[in-house]
Structures are given as C-alpha cells and as structure tokens.
Structure 1
Amino acid sequence: MKLHKLTLASLIFLSAGCTDFLDLSPRDTANVGNFYRNAADMQAAVDAAYGMLASPGEYSYAYYNVSEVRSDNTFNWEGGGNLPDAELDQFKMSSTNEIIRLMWIDTYRGILACNTVLEHIGGADMDDALRQRFIAEARFLRALKYFNLVRTFGDVPLVLKETKSVDDGYSQVRVAQSEVYAQIIADLTDAASTLPVSYSGKDIGRATKGSAKALLGKVYLTNRDFAKAKDVLKEVIDQGNYKLLADYSALWPAANANNEESIFEVQFKKGGTGTGSSFYNNFSPRNSGSSVIQIGFAGGRNIPTADLIAAYEAGDARKAASLSEGYTDNVTGKYVADPYTLKYRDTPFAEGDADNNWMVLRYADVLLMYAEAVNETTGPNAEAFDAVNAVRKRAKLAVLPAGLSKAAFALAIEHERQVELAFEGHRWFDLVRTGREVAVMNAHFKAPVVADFNAVFPIPQTQIDVNPAGIKQNPGYTF
C-alpha cells in the first residue's frame, strides 16, 4: 500500500483548519456532508490516517529522534548550541523544542484522522465486511499513535471522538497513562479480532491481524503484564506466516519492502508526489558531499555512537549490514572515519524523496519480545533460549551459553535487541521499559546527565499556554 496522491488529498481535507492546540481542532466542514458517503470515500479517509504516519511529527522525523537519538545508539551532527536535535540528544530539552512540538501536533492530527473514520463510517453505503475492516484498521492506527504518545509524554489527552469545535479542543485534559493504555489495549484487541492475516496486490502494507497482535504484545510488555505478552506474542509466532529472512542484509533494500519478516511498515513512495522518505539524505554523513548519497543534502543525523559500534560481537553479520564506519571521499580519494547507518540506502528521486519504508514491527522483534516475556514469567527456559538463538544464528553467531540466570538472560536480550534492531526506533523505549535508562545513559555520557524524570519528555509549551488548567508540565522540566 504505497502512499499515493489520493492519500495526500485526503490529508489536506482532514487537516484543514487545524490550530496548534492538540491539533484536534475542527476541520473546515463545508464539504463534510458530501463526503464519507461510500466505500471510496471511507478508503480515502482511512488512507489519510495511514498517511499521517509518514508526517514529520510521526515516523518521518520526530520518531527516530525520540527513540534512537535519545538513546546510547545514535546522535545528531549538531552537537552544540540550542538546536532541537542537540537539546534532545544531550538531555537539555526545553518545552519549546520543535521536535516534541511536531510530534504532539502530527500525532494528534493522525488521531483526528482515525476518529473521523470511526465517526462517519457507520453512515456510509458500503459492504459491511469492508466497513468492519476499515474500523479495525482505524483502531489499530489510533492505538499505535497513542502508544507513541504515552511512551513519549506520559499522561496525555485521550480523545476518542472527532473534534468538531474549538471548545472541544480546549476541553481536553491529560489523563492517567493507565487510562490511555486501557484504550490502546481495547483498540488492538478489537482490531486483532477483525483484521485479515494478510493482503494481496495494492493492499499489501495495510495493518493485519499479526500487526495488531505484535503491537499488543509490545504494549503488554511495556505494562509489565508479562503473561499476557507471552500469550499474544506466541499467537503471532504460531500464525506461521512470518519468518526470519535467511540473510539479514536482505531486510533493507527498498525493493524488498513488506517482506516475510515484516509485520508492519510505514509506507513511502518516491517520484515527486510528496510521499517519499528522507531517511538516507538525513542519515548520510554531514560534509560527505556526493560520496555517500548522490542526490541532495547529507544531514548527519542518527549517527551510530562508539558504544553501538562496540556492541557488535566479532563475526556478527548484522554489523556490516547495519552501518559503515566511514566512506571514501570521491574528490580526495581519502578514507573519512565518519560512521553512518546503511539500513535506509536508496537512490532518491530528488532530495528527501526515496522509497525506504520505516519498519515498525518485524518478526525478530517478536521473537525477542517473546523471549523477554517468557524470562520474566518463568525464567529462561528452552523456548526463551530458542527464540533468542534463532536471531543469533541468522547473525552467524554462537548460541547463548546455557545456564544463564534470569538477570543475565535479561541483559542478553537487551544486548540482542540493541544490535538486531539498531536504527529502527526501539532502543530508548526498551531502556525505559526495563528501567535501565538512567544507568545505561549515564554510563554512556560518563557523567550523571540523566535522571528518573527524563523517562518522559517535556510537554510542548504551546499546549500548556492555551490550556494551562488542563495541560500541566511533566515534573523536572522547568523551562
């Protein structure tokens, strides 16, 4: 389901009239009565919710910053000053940081798109089976968006209806994380009961039963409900339609998107339509000219740290497929030791317009989550070892040593997730989920830089300014 012009038109329609508050403010409703009438209208509305995943405030830009750059895995080239990238990277964030403002705005725009589908689809003249599938897709997408919000900001407004007036927007207040998670679980449980196991043709890339169950497993794991996480992740494994690709490097070519290991990806499509991805431009080494990427600017973002490079064991096949420690300058012929990720290589149509998707969920992630859930439930039994060792064998590594304690096995999974899923948006949230973010990050900085309150980000000041009674700042952030 590569993005297309219909999606762009839908996004414009759905976001018309938005203000900065929550970005749940009402759309221009002049043509609403003539829309949402049939299956084609509703597909355009559902596609708009998918399309928002590719916005700067979701997976195109903000997400890799809050999930990877925030961690010990990567950093951004701008190491000084008050640039939003540097603030986030160095734990000096203010509430006016542009990255978190974008994330809040665009994610709530995506939630608006989901709520719009759910509000209007009951009155559309369409096949009921397709109606139920679209409802399930909208609920999956809403759950994913809320999961990213609640992990990033903690308590957030929980909006489940289409926002139809300015007063509706201003009335929203932050609610407890537990309430948000309860809704996420309800949405994913409903979606998993309805979504198909797979699609064909142009529908490949839409949310499936496996997508909903894999995300639900991650949600349960985050909530430390390990028994439920274990059960639902085992259901994904037992579906039998996902597998580890034999060659780790085969995961990343744009031409091999939505492969047998993929469970859910954010779809991008190059070609001058505004739906391409900018990852390879953004992640190529700054000042590398055309030595790494031949078209457009090299951004120097999401750069592998020395800690990440050192984390790969000798002989790990994933290292050469995931990163390069430098490049040969095509002008001087000299080697430049400036590392960058290789996972998002493609030849752009123009600057910031490539075909690389963003992998949200894949089977290796499920296997490692399953091993973690089993370990936390019963200790490291044979099933847990088998799940981790399957991932290690694909990487051409020896199996884990037998007899590991529960604590040692947990650290082995943490290490495996770091190198298996590097640059894919998991590391920071993994550390927070396991309560390891302060210890790991202060070891990374070699100084007491990170405190407990940094587990969540500051609430954007723009949200507090327009609703100071309902939107309070997170503890620890004073500017």
Structure 2
Amino acid sequence: MIRLIRYSLFFVLLGLSACNEVLEPKPVDLLVDELVLNEPNDVQPVRLGMYSSLRGAAAPIIIAGDFTADYIQFNGTFNDYRELGTKQITAANGAVEALWSNLYRTVYVANFMLETLPKVAGVPEATRKQVLAEARFLRGFANFIGTYTYGDIPQVTSTEQAANRVIGRTPRATILASVLADYEAALTDLPAIAAGSTNITTNATYLNKTTCRAAMARFYLYQKNWAKAEEMASAVINSGVYTLEPNYIDLVTRDFTGEAILEVGYNLSDDPGTDQNAFGLNNILAGRREVIPSNQLVLSLVSTEAGLRQSTIDFDTQDLGGSDNGWTVAKYGTASEDNNNIVLIRLAEMYLIRAEARAQLGRQTGATGAVADLNILRNRAKAPAITTTVQADVLLAVERERVYELAFEGHRWYDLVRTGRAQAVMSSFSPNWNSRYELWPIPQREVQQNPTLRAQQNPGY
C-alpha cells in the first residue's frame, strides 16, 4: 500500500532561527480532511508541510546514493547498515522503507495542495500561482528520485485513499514524462531571484526559477539529453544567484553557503543528527560509526587529485583499530555545529553536469569545453589542472571529479547506474554485488499491503 502520512500542521520554516519543533510521527493512514486548507490563513502551514515532507526524504536520499555504492564499509551493529555495507540489501531494509514513505509523503501533500488550493477563495493570485508551482516541483522531484531508486513506481496523482491503495507500478518513461511536465509548469510560476541576492538562506530553502532549472539540468543529464543539460546548467551558472564558495572547507563546515541551491535545514530543537529513527546522518556516520568511509574512497580523497576536498573526511587515531580505518565523514555535524543541514543541489554540480554534457557532445577543450569546467572546481580545490583532451578520458575525469567534489551528497550510486558503470565498479568493490542492486526493492510493507504490488517486486528480491 502507498501509505499516507498523518501530519501535524504545526510545520516550521526550515532552517531559520525562529523554528519551532517539527512533529514527525510514525507513518499511518491519513484522512484527507486532517489536512486543513479552507481559508487563506491555512495556506502557509500546508505549504511548509510540503517542504517538511521533502526534508524527511533528505537523509534517505544520501543513504541511497552513497551507502548503496562503494563509499562505505560496515562498522557497526545495525542490520540496515550491514545490508548496505555488505551489498546484501533486502526489501525489509529500514532505509529502503524510509525513502519510499517520505517520497510519497511529499507527493501526497503536494497533491492535496494542487487539489485544494484552487478552490480556496481570497488567496492572492500571485500567492496561489507560486504555491501551486512549488507543489508541482516537489511532486516532480519526489517522483524523479523515486523512479531512479526503485524503477517503475506507482504514479499517485490524487489524495483518493481507496484508489491509491491498489495502484500498481507505472513505467519509468511515464513517470519521467510527468516529472518534466511538473518541472515545466513549476518553472512558469516560481519566483525569479535577482542576480546578487544576498538572502542565501531563503535562496536555498524556498524554490525559485533557478532551483527548478538546476533540477531540470540533472533531469536532462540522466536522460542523456546533453544539449538541454548544458543549456539548463549554464542558465543556473550564469544567473548569478548562486556563487562558488572560494574555500571548499566551508562546504563541509557551514550551512547555507552561497553555493547551496536546495538545502533542507534543522535547528537545535529538531536536529535529527542523533535520532536513529530519523536516519540522522551524524549519528550514523560519526556518533555510532555504523558505516565508515571505504578504504577505496579514502585513498581517492587523500590523493593529490582531490586537493582540499579531502576535508570531506577526517581521521582520528582513537577510532583506529581492527577493521576500523579511523576515518569519519565530516560533512554532517550535530545540532550545536554549523553543518547539520543536508544540501540536495548545489552550484558545483551544475559545473559537473555541464562538463559531462559538453564532453558527451565532443567539446572537450576551449573556453566552453568540458575541461574548463572541471578545472574551475579543481582550481578552487588547489588540485592539479586536467590536461587530457581525449573524450573517453575526459568522461572518466568527470566521474572522478564527481567523487572528489560530491562525496556523501547522495550521487554516487545514481551516477554509476545511469552511466552503465555500476557492474564494473561495484563487482570489483564487493564480492556480494549483484546487478539487481542497480535498483532498490519495493519496501516489503508496501508489497504486503498493496495487492497490486505483490507480483511486481523488482527482480531478485
């Protein structure tokens, strides 16, 4: 069953100092009338509910993208992380369930907004358009992550419980067509942000046209539409709304940098870092050390090629011993630190998307070539410049640069699968790797509760 989630409507403005605690109860069926949207004053709470729903998916997105791949090795006691570390993932895995439920939570609240807001009298038309655009974007983003994680997924377009409980899987092509339609609709009505805007917290927290173009750049990259990927990435880079941080270390130690395009925030009262049930990344990576950076990744990040991006991980001799290599991921802090947020899109990714698109189009060199984009990031990291001009070598350089630049930001597994490199890379990394792990399983609970999904599990699970 696609489980619908009971919500409190006391949601917070994500990441701002005036936040109150967000209530994130256990998932249960949600009756439509428990979301209240009857008058203009109800719009903001439900709007913030959409953003809060996405925030619940953020940590599981990082886990899917990086723990499924070759970035981690198991070092703890919890079975969920043992499965991910040893590459023996099952449909009962808690992270598999958490991502699914939070993505569909996002879809559900977005659908509620799309169904209900047009009927509410007295809402200013500019507000109505913006909020409906945000709903379209968030639904599209959730479906994009969902289909690239699980394959064919149920397409949920309403809040009708009886119908939603028995929806079967929809072909990925159909889901992706709906993602693009949602993004294009959102782009029309999301607000524009002027170049040089100094409100970096708002720029990264709330959606705008440039956020949408960034998501579309990633969409077109995954679709291998190189020309459109380059176009959208260039639009984001040239917008002037976001700027590369001069010092890479600030991306590790600070929240809401000028480079963050989409970031979900937490404060002292609702920080998930030590909450095991919320898949808090600091708890998993630093507190309990359930997983640690793999030896292979450590060698990559401490190399000359990575430059200052080795600051993504940290070494402590107190942790060294047995199978523990002493390394820890440094990107996710605690509530008392200034790096406990999760960045879902940032500007450096746009340079990497554009570089890959340009290389695929055969444009390796020159001011508008792939190598120039890669060297912008390498110069920031004080790493040696890339000099190769051979297309295949440049594409491998892009893959390595994505490792150095984006480690533990949720990209690696998706990158390996979309480029057809998963089997070659992962089979040499783990003897347990199997091609079925190029998709996560549909969560066991969903298969048990939705009769239509019972015969539609991904192969091998």
Interval containing the TM-score (normalised by the shorter chain): 0.7 to 0.9
In 2, Cα distance between equivalents of 1:346 and 1:174: 38
Q: Which amino acid aligns with 1:463?
A: E
Q: Structure 2: which amino acid aligns with 1:215?
A: A
Select the residue among 337, 345, 351 that pairs with 1:361.
345
Q: 1:362-401 counterparts in 2 under 5 A?
A: 362-382=346-366, 383=368, 384-401=370-387
Letter in 1 for 2:406: L
SS at match of 2:459: coil
Cα distance change on mapping 1:476 and 1:315 into 2, 3 Å: closer
Q: How does 1:98-177 map to 2 (within 5 A)?
A: 98-124=94-120, 125-163=122-160, 165=161, 167-177=162-172
Aligned to 2:256: 258
State the 1:400 CA deviation. Answer: 0.6
* 1:348 positional shift: 3.6
Identity between Structure 1 and Structure 2 (%): 25
CA distance in structure 1 between the partners assigned to 2:237 and 2:257 by the alignment: 16
**Structure 2 residues without counterparts, runs of 5 or longer:** 1-12
Residue 58 of structure 2 corresponds to 59
Shift of 1:6: 6.7
Q: Show CA shifts across 1:335-364 (max 9, x none).
A: x95110111234549xxxx86110111111
Aligned residues: 431
Question: Residues 315-464 of structure 1: matches in 2 within 5 Å?
Answer: 316-328=306-318, 337-346=325-334, 348=336, 356-382=340-366, 383=368, 384-403=370-389, 405-445=390-430, 447=431, 449-464=432-447
Deviation for aligned residue 1:390: 0.1
Q: Following superposition of structure 1 onto structure 2, how do residues 4-43 of structure 1 map, counting pairs within 5 Å? A: 8=22, 18-19=28-29, 26-27=30-31, 29=33, 35-43=36-44
Q: 1:376 to 1:472 in 2, by over 3 A?
A: farther
C-alpha separation between the residues in 2 aligned to 1:464 and 1:368? 37
Instruction: Please give the secondary structure, in 2, of the residue aligned with 1:111.
Output: helix
Aligned residues of 2:67 and 2:85 also touching (Cα < 8 A): yes
| Cα distance per residue 1:383-428 (max 9 Å; x no partner) | 211111100000101211142x111111000000001101111111
Contact 1:146-1:184 within 8 A present in 2 as well: yes
The 1-side partners of 2:130 and 2:153 are apart by: 27
Secondary structure at 1:361 match in 2: strand
Alpha-carbon deviation of 1:229? 1.2
Preserved CA contact (<8 Å) 2:252 2:331: yes
- Counterpart selection for 1:2 from 11, 14, 36: 14
Cα drift, residue 470 of structure 1: 4.3
Separation (CA, whole Å) in 2 of partners of 1:59 and 1:455: 20
Cα pair distance change 1:170/1:65, threshold 3 Å = same
Q: Is the counterpart of residue 307 in structure 1 residue 275 in structure 2?
A: no
| Paired residues of 1:95 and 1:477 also in contact (CA < 8 A) | no
* 1:94 paired residue number: 90
Q: Distance in 2 between matches of 1:121 and 1:355?
A: 35
| Equivalent AA in structure 2 for residue 152 of structure 1 | T
Q: In 1, Cα distance between the equivalents of 2:419 and 2:164?
A: 35
TM-score w.r.t. structure 1 length? 0.83
Cα distance, 1:47 vs. partner? 0.7
Once the 2 structures are TM-superposed, how far is the Cα of residue 226 of structure 1 from its aligned partner? 1.6
In the alignment, structure 1 residue 44 sits paired with structure 2 residue 41: no
1:346/1:461 CA distance change after superposition, 3 Å: closer
SS at match of 2:361: helix
CA distance in 2, matches of 1:358, 1:39: 31
Match of 1:184 in 2: 179
Q: Structure 1 pair 469/272, CA: closer, same or farther in 2 (3 Å)?
A: closer
Q: CA separation in 1, counterparts of 2:399 and 2:175?
A: 26
TM-score by length of 2: 0.86
Deviation of the 1:240 alpha carbon: 2.0
Q: Which amino acid aligns with 1:162?
A: T
Give the RMSD, CA atoms, in angstroms.
2.7
What amino acid sits opposite 1:106 in the alignment?
Answer: N
CA distance in 2, matches of 1:328, 1:89: 22
Distance 1:310 1:273 in 2: 31
Partner of 2:9: none
* Structure 2: distance between partners of 1:467 and 1:66: 23
